[in-house]
């Protein structure tokens, strides 16, 4: 028997339909956690959550943890339901292959993601 698991990459705080930048600044150069991109992101998360709640269908949301710094309370209001499983998708969604040799950046991604998800938890 097959099962379908709905899972969402919850991180679109940029115009994802535009070509990816290839300059040195890369991903960070064209995303925003404020203004219209933030509101569009929240509206999308809300629409997906409402669709799942309306059909009583569970879902997993993989969240870029930096979003919690900018709209954590709003996301909590949208996704705080037992049908939803929340997982971490890194802190800033870096190119992990590109920074794989850079232990400092990898550690930053891991520790910041951990802090954003569990601010009252002791450091690792």
Whether 81 is in a domain gets the answer yes
Whether 97 is in a domain gets the answer yes
pTM to 2 decimal places: 0.68
**Structural domain harbouring 15:** 7-30+40-117
Whether 68 is in a domain gets the answer yes
Is 90 exceeded by the pLDDT of residue 74?
Answer: yes
Percent above pLDDT 70 for the chain: 56
Within the chain, how many helices (H) and strands (E) appear?
A: 3, 3
pLDDT of residue 57: 92
Whether 73 is in a domain gets the answer yes
Q: If pLDDT is split at 50, 70 and 90, which confidence band does 7 have?
A: confident
* Nearest residue to 15 (alpha-carbon basis) of 49, 48, 40, 50: 40
Whether 12 is in a domain gets the answer yes
Work out how many domains the chain is built from and give that number: 1
């Amino acid at each position: 028997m097959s099962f379908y698991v709905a899972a969402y990459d919850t991180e679109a705080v940029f115009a994802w339909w535009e070509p990816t930048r290839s300059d040195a600044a890369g991903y960070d150069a064209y995303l925003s956690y404020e203004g219209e991109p933030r509101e569009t992101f929240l509206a999308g998360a809300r629409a997906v959550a409402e669709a799942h709640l309306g059909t009583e269908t569970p879902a997993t949301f993989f969240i870029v943890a930096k979003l919690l710094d900018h709209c954590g309370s709003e996301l909590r209001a949208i996704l705080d339901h037992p049908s939803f499983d929340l997982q971490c998708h890194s802190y800033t969604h870096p190119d992990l292959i590109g920074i794989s040799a850079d232990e400092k950046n990898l550690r930053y991604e891991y520790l910041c993601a951990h802090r954003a998800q569990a601010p009252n938890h002791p450091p690792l």
